[in-house]
């Protein structure tokens, strides 16, 4: 059994080419008993974005706060609190904060997707 609160989970700042103002918390992972999967919480601060990229694994996304955009299938798709999205594997994609406040979302990936 694993029970926690996002307030108590340390985050890390994501850095690298094409990344701006992004932090990540790993909420549930194989180390907590969820074999094969990882649930992460991303926060993109003002003007924050992930790199435009693709990889073999899919994402399942649930927006918890703010407004943003998901670049997918060659276009931008608006996201807001309560939005859900499925990003297929090998799809070119990018998350962007398009608001004044933090844009946060839960992202679930297979274990190999959390590097």
What structural domains and CATH numbers belong to the chain? Answer: 10-113 (2.60.120.10)
What pLDDT score was predicted for residue 115? 76
- Residue 43 to residue 52: CA distance in whole angstroms: 17
The per-residue pLDDT string of the chain (115 residues; one tens digit each, 9 = 90 and over) reads 999 999 999 999 999 999 999 999 999 999 999 999 999 999 999 999 999 999 999 999 999 999 999 999 899 999 999 999 999 999 999 999 999 999 999 999 999 999 7
Sign of CA dihedral 107, 39, 84, 89: positive
What pLDDT score was predicted for residue 6? 95
């Amino acid at each position: 059994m694993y029970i926690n609160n996002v307030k108590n989970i340390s985050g890390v700042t994501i850095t690298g080419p094409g990344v701006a103002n992004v932090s990540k918390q790993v909420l549930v992972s194989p180390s907590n008993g969820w074999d094969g999967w990882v649930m992460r919480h991303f926060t993109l601060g003002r003007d924050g974005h992930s790199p435009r990229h693709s990889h073999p694994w899919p994402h399942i996304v649930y927006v918890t706060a703010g407004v943003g955009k998901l670049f997918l299938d060659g276009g931008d798709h608006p996201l807001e609190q309560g939005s859900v999205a499925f990003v297929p594997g090998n799809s070119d994609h990018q998350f962007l904060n398009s608001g004044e406040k933090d844009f946060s979302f839960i992202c679930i990936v297979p274990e190999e997707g959390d590097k």
